[in-house]
Chains A and B, each alone.
Chain A
Amino acid sequence: MPDGASPDRPIDLSRAPSDEIKPSTCYMCACRCGIRVHLKNGQLRYIEGNPDHPVNRGVLCAKGSAGIMNQLSPAKLAKPLKRTGERGSGEFEEIEWKEALEIATNRLSKIRKSDPKKLAFFTGRDQSQGLTGWWASQFGTPNHAAHGGFCSVNMAAAGLYTLGGAFWEFGEPDWEQTKLFLLFGVAEDHDSNPIKLGLARLKERGAKIVSINPVRSGYSAIADEWIGITPGSDGLFVLSLCRELLRAGKVDIDFLALFSNAAHLAIDNPGGGDHGLLARNEEGAPLIWDRRSNSPVAFPGDCAAPAMQGSFTLPDGRKTVPAFELVARRLDEDSYAPEAIAERTGVKPEIIRRLAAEIAEAAFVNPPIRDELWEDAWGREQRQVIGRPVAVHAMRGVSAHANGFHSCRAIHILQLLIGAIDRPGSWRYKPPFPRPTPPGQKPTGKPHQVVPGKPLPGPPLGFVTGPEDLLLSEDGSPQRIDKAYSWEAPVAAHGLMHMVIANAWRGDPYPIDTLFMYMANMAWNSTMNTGGVIDMLTDKNPATGEYKIPFIIYADAFAAETVYYADLVLPDTTYLERWDCISLLDRPICDAHSAADAIRQPVLRLDRDVRPFQSVLLDLGARLGLPGMVKEDGSPRYPGGYADYIVNHERKPGIGPLAGFRGTDGQSHGRGAVNPQQLERYIENGCFWRAPIPEEAQHHRFANQAYLDWALDMGFIERPAPILLQFYGEIFQRFRLAAEGHGAIQPPENLRARIARVFDPLPLWYPPFEDESNDDAAYPLHGVTQRPMAMYHSWHSQNAWLRQIHGANRLYIPEAVAAAEGIADEDWVWAESRHGRVKAQARVMQALNDKTVWTWNAIGKRAGAWNLDPRAPEATKGFLLNHLIDDLLPEQGGYRFSNSDPITGQAAWYDLRLRVRKMSDAETLEAERADGAALPRPPGLQPPPGRLLYRGGEEGAAS
């Protein structure tokens, strides 16, 4: 009825949106935002950001807001499964938990009693590595890691070995004071909401944002300046900036001399076993040259006059050069000149020069300075706090290359050169960082440490400082199945998840019995050479008829592709159905101003026969009699599952998974006795805990006594010793010396040259290995992927809302390439590498490096997986670039190395070289038919509903 006279019709404007609000922590990606979950009639009504939470301060991204559909997903596993058909067939039977746990216990118990190494336990993006790593070490296998080797270990390792911190969980830009922000190749699910909040703040303040990224999307879209760099050349670009700053004298030499090893004297003894090591006195203190007395003094000594260049002979006759001069000479090499790098980086020399000038201006012209007396941890009185308002954030785009470690380290060299480390306006540490450079924990798993029936003496992962720390068997071959901490990947701080299946299949370095994986979709998107990996998982030994990887246990909440290759499937809960802790022992959620940790609480009651994986792991541990998981009488130590462990486990006296509300009265923070009411206290506080860092402890934390004392109090460090910034990478020189024939532990012949080349104490750029063997005429393009902001890994294709946003990925092709190949939007193309080819639909793009194609990561799905219709666009039009990426490099001297960084072993999957070709009409018809075989629906899953009329618990749910 048309009615213009009184248009306002009665509406109930104050309807209570929910019956109950429960705080918890999001798990729709790795960001770990605080959420408030609204429930109505026991169903999810609304999930919003928690305004009080330090990570997201009330905002919530698309993924977090789609949590409702994660819970409603028809791809949720419902009951343990035992394989009945061939691997990959999808033929399973549902079994009871009792049987599932007996199968696992029997298998693992035999392994533990005979050779614990035969268990490879690898987890994906889980946020319980504090537990999983401990479990592996209690089991006694060194073969454990999470997914860092496939993600950003180069960034983490370069940072920890140089600054004692890195990006994301290690540190963040000073959003309030920085004037110039350099953003490199970010993965947009890493620290996603804090970075978005920070970018907004920079925009509000008028700071300049420069994005260095082959693709101008997402954050790059709003940057003031976009530098569309060619993949794999970030290090070259950064070192060229360093060179320009150095030649102009725009260097914070005082900072370097005070807080880094730049003034330390490197021994100049070419050919000698001590060449390139730092000279030390008899007490082991490093020496610097005092220009006033013209004599060596032990660091810190009198830093008013340290020599930063020159040649100095010590009283004992050793010749030395200050490390700074060695770094400076490297940077001054012509190969880093702006003109020399223009071709490889795709960046014009004038842009490098201008950006160097902008960095110098932002860092040194009118920096924020405040008078403040503070004592540094070497006992030197400092009178000012000087800002250097240039901040950096970098992530996987720089990391995932065979030169990634050095490229990441180059970024830290730039920060060090201008003194932009934990000072006002710069990148700043988040607790519990800085840690020592590197942290003191060594990897365990040497032959004598792997004993049947016994735990390892420490965690499987750690930080090596020389060849003596490598995990090598008696004959020098790798001790771990992924070859981490061998000469193939000596600084493998996160392991090499991406090599586990290939190595286990080959039996190189040895065969294993059981592969146990959690939330790692390694039969699909979390692997290189996807097709090959699927074959390896199903390949049998012709002599015995047994699978080459004899037994596979897989735990996941959803019917991911990898489920189909498991012999035993342990179904997990969703993040809204269980207890969890976001622990400082694992991957912390602190910020530059405070320490923080958090929990998840079960918001919903379980409606299927699944169990939280962490509780299952503790149960298995008790059944296996793992020392930390049983009491003296052999009964389970944590009968209450993960929640019991979270509250009652102590890693060291007074230090447990949660740092907040400790002590019997809940008043202790950091260290303190177990508090039986701890979880209740967290819930009362919004499921998180936050402890502000004293104001005077928020700068120069590597050497700020006030900070170090606070960190000791909180239990983050064992002693309040200063942390020396490693401008010069002496540790790497130790490996190089071994390669040059010094010391008892030396690399095998086929690795000597490579170790000597890449283990360089100085900043370095070398071409990615794929480039060195690439036929540029055949494969002229680079190929990279990005993570969409509205989608996380493979998880979200089962999410009815998110798949409407990203249901089929396109291959984005630069305009000139598309024109040359006659490719238009939506055309079907072949993307071809030396390793294989995939079909894709094209999208022509201008805001893209002219030698690069890219696509969204992990959108493409196996037909039938994730309980999607086999005709879903994810299966028919989506594609994975992973199929094009070989897990091995081309043969060299009769051996094929892993396609990884030679220092850390990080998967070099952004080194992909390829070409694109438009399909013929016949090929296009074939591509559009897409009628490949579909994976069947596993037992326990129902056919998905066609139509969703979700009302948030108002009246029924899906129909």
Chain B
Amino acid sequence: MTSLPRYPSEKKLGLVIDLDTCVGCQACVVNCKEWNTGGYPAPLSDIDAYGAAPQGAWLNRVHAFEVEPKDGNPQIVHFPKSCLHCEDAACVTVCPTGASYKRQADGIVLVDEDRCMGCGLCAWACPYGAREMDPGVGVMKKCTLCIDRIYNEALSEEERQPACVRTCPTRARHFGDLADPDSDISKLVAARGGMDLMPEMGYRPTNKYLPPRARREGRTGEAPRALEPANPEGGFLAWLDRLLSD
């Protein structure tokens, strides 16, 4: 089996995903696909692409769930899901060949495809279902946090972000160092009560989710529950005369 880094990584690069603003548009899903099919994990293959059962490797997917609160209207929550780059990454420790590994430098979990034999144990071990067996190539694919973007000196400073973060139209995705309490995303997590996904499982995921803000279905500000008629006795437009005679 494969070991995790001996010491915790000095950086914990990861994503913070805002469930309050995700509209489920799939922009991150497809932009991830197009970057990565030509990037570090290339290709992300698709089989039966124009047939009865098309199926491809995607490193990021968005699911939608319907929830019905006890009081209030039913809600839809869109839930983007990719590798959470766990500190205790079961996908790494289960790997029989050393293909799966977690980087010391930044905590990113990667697959070294040359060593992957496609046994699929890591997918079984991942509690989040975040790994995908490439159906055309037969090796395991996963989110790399766009490792070929974030350090890429051929890209401008602003471009050195994961593709999903750059493209998100509702700015629901954020990237940074979650080990640094002063990083923008650490502050965002603190301010918005960012959460671990299934913390009870003990894998200590790096990525965090910002919960939906409380929906304000009731009154805003000081607004009353109903407006008072301006002229209960004087006719419905009597307020107008008063207004205009001022």
Least distance between A345 CB and chain B CB atoms (Å)? 15
Report B-chain residues with C-beta under 8 Å of the C-beta of A370. Answer: none
Asked if A542 is at the interface (CB within 8 A of a chain B CB), the reply is no
Tell me which of A123-131, A223-231, A606-614 binds B: A223-231
A803–B222 CB distance below 8 A: no
**What are 17 contact pairs spanning A and B, CB under 8 A?**
A1-B97, A1-B115, A2-B2, A6-B104, A17-B148, A59-B167, A64-B27, A192-B169, A199-B170, A225-B217, A249-B240, A308-B240, A357-B225, A358-B220, A790-B29, A946-B48, A948-B45
Q: A354-B226, A847-B73, A945-B49 are in contact. Are A361 and B220 (CB under 8 A)?
A: yes
B237–A325 CB distance below 8 A: yes
Residue of A nearest to B152 (CB): A14
Least distance between B160 CB and chain A CB atoms (Å)? 10
Contact flags A58-75 to B (C-beta < 8 A → 1, else 0):
111111111010000010
7 shortest A-B CB distances, which residue pairs?
A: A952-B38, A4-B3, A249-B230, A248-B227, A196-B169, A944-B50, A353-B226
Q: Give complex CA distance A959, B94 in Å.
A: 33
A60–B167 CB distance below 8 A: yes
Contact flags A944-956 to B (C-beta < 8 A → 1, else 0):
1111111111100
Report A-chain residues with C-beta under 8 Å of the C-beta of B78. Answer: 221
Tell me which of B52-60, B120-128, B175-183, B193-201 binds A: B52-60
A952–B215 CB distance below 8 A: no
Asked if A350 is at the interface (CB within 8 A of a chain B CB), the reply is yes
Q: A66-B30, A216-B76, A365-B222 are in contact. Are A17 and B39 (CB under 8 A)?
A: yes
Report B-chain residues with C-beta under 8 Å of the C-beta of A291. Answer: 244
Report B-chain residues with C-beta under 8 Å of the C-beta of A49. Answer: 166-167
Least distance between A800 CB and chain B CB atoms (Å)? 4
Report B-chain residues with C-beta under 8 Å of the C-beta of A223. Answer: 215
Least distance between A297 CB and chain B CB atoms (Å)? 15
Least distance between A261 CB and chain B CB atoms (Å)? 17
Report B-chain residues with C-beta under 8 Å of the C-beta of A221. Answer: 23-24, 64, 75-78
A216–B74 CB distance below 8 A: yes
A60–B42 CB distance below 8 A: no
Least distance between B31 CB and chain A CB atoms (Å)? 4
Asked if A208 is at the interface (CB within 8 A of a chain B CB), the reply is yes
Residue of B nearest to A16 (CB): B154
Q: Give complex CA distance A946, B49 in Å.
A: 6
Report A-chain residues with C-beta under 8 Å of the C-beta of B244. Answer: 253, 291, 305, 307-308
Least distance between B80 CB and chain A CB atoms (Å)? 12
Report A-chain residues with C-beta under 8 Å of the C-beta of B224. Answer: 357
Of the candidates A224, A248, A308, A354, the one whose C-beta lies within 8 Å of that of B229 is: A248
Asked if B112 is at the interface (CB within 8 A of a chain A CB), the reply is yes
Name the interface residues of B33-85: CB closer than 8 Å to any CB of A.
Answer: 33-35, 37-40, 42-43, 45-56, 58, 64, 66, 68, 73-78
Least distance between A192 CB and chain B CB atoms (Å)? 7
Q: A61-B169, A353-B226 are in contact. Are A944 and B49 (CB under 8 A)?
A: yes
Of the candidates B46, B77, B218, the one whose C-beta lies within 8 Å of that of A947 is: B46
Asked if A809 is at the interface (CB within 8 A of a chain B CB), the reply is no
Q: Give complex CA distance A800, B21 in Å.
A: 28
A45–B221 CB distance below 8 A: no
Contact flags B5-28 to A (C-beta < 8 A → 1, else 0):
110000000000000111111110
Q: A59-B168, A200-B21, A789-B26 are in contact. Are A11 and B147 (CB under 8 A)?
A: yes
Q: Give complex CA distance A307, B25 in Å.
A: 51
Asked if A222 is at the interface (CB within 8 A of a chain B CB), the reply is yes
B226–A876 CB distance below 8 A: no
Asked if A605 is at the interface (CB within 8 A of a chain B CB), the reply is no
Report B-chain residues with C-beta under 8 Å of the C-beta of A872. Answer: 50-52
Least distance between A210 CB and chain B CB atoms (Å)? 9
Least distance between B30 CB and chain A CB atoms (Å)? 4
Least distance between A634 CB and chain B CB atoms (Å)? 47
Least distance between B8 CB and chain A CB atoms (Å)? 12
Q: Give complex CA distance A309, B227 in Å.
A: 22
Report B-chain residues with C-beta under 8 Å of the C-beta of A247. Answer: 227, 229-230, 236
Q: Give complex CA distance A60, B3 in Å.
A: 39
Asked if A203 is at the interface (CB within 8 A of a chain B CB), the reply is yes
Least distance between B179 CB and chain A CB atoms (Å)? 16
B22–A222 CB distance below 8 A: yes
Residue of B nearest to A4 (CB): B3
Asked if B228 is at the interface (CB within 8 A of a chain A CB), the reply is yes
Asked if A845 is at the interface (CB within 8 A of a chain B CB), the reply is yes
Q: A253-B240, A802-B30 are in contact. Are A360 and B136 (CB under 8 A)?
A: no
A224–B216 CB distance below 8 A: yes
Least distance between B235 CB and chain A CB atoms (Å)? 9
Contact flags A162-184 to B (C-beta < 8 A → 1, else 0):
00000000000000000110000
Least distance between B212 CB and chain A CB atoms (Å)? 8
Report A-chain residues with C-beta under 8 Å of the C-beta of B43. Answer: 948-951
Tell me which of A479-487, A528-536, A659-667, A863-871 binds B: A863-871
Q: A62-B29, A365-B222 are in contact. Are A873 and B216 (CB under 8 A)?
A: no
Q: Give complex CA distance A30, B67 in Å.
A: 32
B154–A17 CB distance below 8 A: yes
Report B-chain residues with C-beta under 8 Å of the C-beta of A47. Answer: 34
Which one of B2, B212, B216 has the highest number of Cβ atoms from chain A below 10 Å of its Cβ? B216
Asked if A46 is at the interface (CB within 8 A of a chain B CB), the reply is yes
Residue of B nearest to A844 (CB): B66
Asked if B187 is at the interface (CB within 8 A of a chain A CB), the reply is no
Q: Give complex CA distance A354, B149 in Å.
A: 49
Q: Give complex CA distance A353, B212 in Å.
A: 27
Least distance between B24 CB and chain A CB atoms (Å)? 6
Q: Give complex CA distance A208, B221 in Å.
A: 10
Least distance between A217 CB and chain B CB atoms (Å)? 6
Q: Give complex CA distance A802, B56 in Å.
A: 11
Of the candidates B39, B49, B76, the one whose C-beta lies within 8 Å of that of A948 is: B49
Asked if A597 is at the interface (CB within 8 A of a chain B CB), the reply is no
A45–B38 CB distance below 8 A: yes
A61–B25 CB distance below 8 A: yes
Q: Give complex CA distance A65, B215 in Å.
A: 31
Residue of B nearest to A789 (CB): B25
Contact flags A230-255 to B (C-beta < 8 A → 1, else 0):
00000000000000111111100100
Q: Give complex CA distance A950, B41 in Å.
A: 11
Asked if A454 is at the interface (CB within 8 A of a chain B CB), the reply is no
A7–B5 CB distance below 8 A: yes
A196–B170 CB distance below 8 A: yes
Report B-chain residues with C-beta under 8 Å of the C-beta of A204. Answer: 171
Report A-chain residues with C-beta under 8 Å of the C-beta of B219. Answer: 354, 357-358
Residue of B nearest to A224 (CB): B216
A2–B98 CB distance below 8 A: yes
Of the candidates A46, A362, A801, A871, the one whose C-beta lies within 8 Å of that of B38 is: A46
B223–A361 CB distance below 8 A: yes
Task: Given contact pairs A800-B46, A954-B38, enumerate 5 new A-B contacts (beta carbons under 8 Å).
Answer: A7-B102, A226-B75, A357-B223, A362-B220, A868-B51
A951–B37 CB distance below 8 A: yes
Which one of A12, A203, A365 has the highest number of Cβ atoms from chain B below 10 Å of its Cβ? A203
B154–A951 CB distance below 8 A: no
Q: Give complex CA distance A204, B219 in Å.
A: 19
Asked if A762 is at the interface (CB within 8 A of a chain B CB), the reply is no
Residue of B nearest to A251 (CB): B240
A952–B23 CB distance below 8 A: no
Contact flags A181-218 to B (C-beta < 8 A → 1, else 0):
00000001000110011011001100010000000111
B27–A62 CB distance below 8 A: yes
Asked if B101 is at the interface (CB within 8 A of a chain A CB), the reply is yes
Name the interface residues of A1-41: CB closer than 8 Å to any CB of B.
Answer: 1-9, 11-17, 40
Asked if B233 is at the interface (CB within 8 A of a chain A CB), the reply is no
Which one of B1, B3, B51, B169 has the highest number of Cβ atoms from chain A below 10 Å of its Cβ? B169
A250–B220 CB distance below 8 A: no
A13–B54 CB distance below 8 A: no
Asked if B143 is at the interface (CB within 8 A of a chain A CB), the reply is no
Of the candidates B23, B105, B149, the one whose C-beta lies within 8 Å of that of A196 is: B23
Q: Give complex CA distance A433, B27 in Å.
A: 31
A354–B66 CB distance below 8 A: no
A947–B50 CB distance below 8 A: no
A197–B170 CB distance below 8 A: yes
